[in-house]
Structure 1
Amino acid sequence: MHRDREVWGHDAGEFNPLRFRDGAARAAAAAGIPHALLSFSIGPRSCIGQGFAMLEAKAAMAAMLRGLSFRVSPGYVHAPVDLITLKPKFGLPVIVRLLDA
């Protein structure tokens, strides 16, 4: 199912991270089948390690991010849009720099 061309398109067998830029659930829903991506399965028989895997991913991300500094770009234009939650209308350009070791 993860490589089904009818669900994911002609490039179903290729690594395309842009497919998941809005999250895995939205990518699967956009494909027309909400549960087309079954990394951990769903329901009562879902993967017992899902919670651990997500926690491990967050810990790895935190470890990578602690060596970086973030600053809003000087070209940022503040224009919030109310779509259930507030979001920046034109995105949020950020300057990322390595912290000195």
Structure 2
Amino acid sequence: MGCAGSSQSKADGTVKKIRKPKPWKHPQPITKTQLMQLREEFWDTSPHYGGRKEIWDALRAAAEADLTLAQAIVDSAGVIVQSSDLTTCYDERGSKYELPKYVLSEPTNLIPES
């Protein structure tokens, strides 16, 4: 037993479907290389934010996959999706996982490499 919010299923029995994040803008224009570096730094340090490494690994795989595969990954890992864009998730033990938008999609102000 748990609280009503501790289940992946909604009241009607359906699982919360993952969707692409809404368009967003980085505070300053950024290149693809800089974006990739930000992502690597986040994933390298993510286990230090708490939670389990295997859930972080599953979230990384889901963030880098297409929506159908991402849905299968989070479902099989037992990830409870709070925000359908994957910015806030929980594991079955209640640990919270927060993902910044820059690991989930590209900003609207991405600039070409110089």
TM-score (norm. length: structure 2): 0.27
Between Structure 1 and Structure 2, the one with more strand by share is 1
Between Structure 1 and Structure 2, the one with more helix by share is 2
TM-score (norm. length: structure 1): 0.29
Q: Which has the higher contact order (CA 8 A, sep 6+)?
A: 2
Higher CA-based Rg: 1
